[in-house]
Structure 1
């Protein structure tokens, strides 16, 4: 479920009614407590994934749940409160496909108007473990960059980050 201002009526600090109004002229409307003046921001959610390099291949996982069940993504997921984005990237890769990796650098940030997720994409190297599907994946598989299943990718951010990766590596896009 994607939340918006209409889902919230009361202040999480004091319980008074929230009002929708601008803090300053020309700013967007915000939810502001009528009593204590707490500003209730609906912030974006941070997600991470890793483009895991394994010899001349990359790791993709097939989603076991909606949204986009049955389509391919890089291993990843949401960052937990208090967790670093780097730790989340390592954790999600191990949880989704059973392998340990080492992050080699930030690949990119991806966000889209109207979408509340900000995706942080890392490049990583395979270190150890057996590649396998886990609870959140139907399949985990190695692909040569030239063989990425472009028509079976789950999200715009998946396509965009893999296109950027292929350009970086000099791989011709189909």
Structure 2
């Protein structure tokens, strides 16, 4: 950080402010403290007749890999609205959010991923600018080695674990690089 977004000063220091225990960017001119917090990523496991919708990514990172639809929340939306919007943007399908399924911590990249279980309301698969291919998968067809992110693998593995145990438990996991 080079300039204060509050006053425009270039008097930015990286210190532990009084009463805090973490280093923060602080403007020495106007005393504004800039907090940097994890980003919330939201997505879902979209279901249609016991099959799971996956999207082949046409964007980086992980171009060409399979992905559950998801992405960063926007200001002014709930986590459910964000998951629904991201699914529309990546898969062009309308869903109904059923419930929270998993929370996946990615501390090394400052992200927390929330996956919801969702029902696809109408199946009319068409790729978007973010996905080159969309496909419904049964368990034995999921391309496990081609999944884009650890959060996807965790969400899918725990989804099938819940199904096997006839549970709807919310799972919490973490990945440290």
**Same fold by TM (over 0.5)?**
yes
1: CA distance, partners of 2:3 / 2:92: 42
With over 3 angstroms needed to count, the CA separation of the structure-2 counterparts of 1:29 and 1:96, relative to structure 1, is same
Q: Which residue of 2 aligns with 1:11?
A: 4
Q: Which residue of 2 aligns with 1:3?
A: none
Q: How much has 1:101 moved relative to structure 2? A: 0.8
With over 3 angstroms needed to count, the CA separation of the structure-2 counterparts of 1:48 and 1:73, relative to structure 1, is same
Q: Which residue of 1 aligns with 2:60?
A: 66
With over 3 angstroms needed to count, the CA separation of the structure-2 counterparts of 1:26 and 1:42, relative to structure 1, is closer
Q: Which residue of 1 aligns with 2:46?
A: 52
2: CA distance, partners of 1:83 / 1:132: 25
Structure 1 stretches of 4+ moved >3 Å: none
Q: Deviations over 1:20-57 (max 9, x none)?
A: 11124782211111021111112222221110111121
Report the TM-score when normalising by structure 1. Answer: 0.88
Would you say 1:102 and 2:101 are equivalent positions? Answer: no
2: CA distance, partners of 1:161 / 1:98: 21
| Residue pairs, 1:1-174, within 5 angstroms | 8-16=1-9, 17-24=11-18, 27-170=21-164
SS of the residue aligned with 2:148?
coil
SS of the residue aligned with 1:139?
strand
SS of the residue aligned with 2:89?
helix
SS of the residue aligned with 1:132?
coil
Q: Deviations over 1:41-91 (max 9, x none)?
A: 122222211101111210000100110000011112221121221111111
SS of the residue aligned with 2:122?
strand
2: CA distance, partners of 1:84 / 1:26: 29
Q: Which runs of 5+ in 2 are unaligned?
A: 166-177
Moved more, 21-30 or 36-45: 21-30
1: CA distance, partners of 2:24 / 2:88: 38
Q: Which runs of 5+ in 1 are unaligned?
A: 1-7
Q: Could you say what the CA RMSD is over the residues aligned between the two structures, in angstroms?
A: 1.6
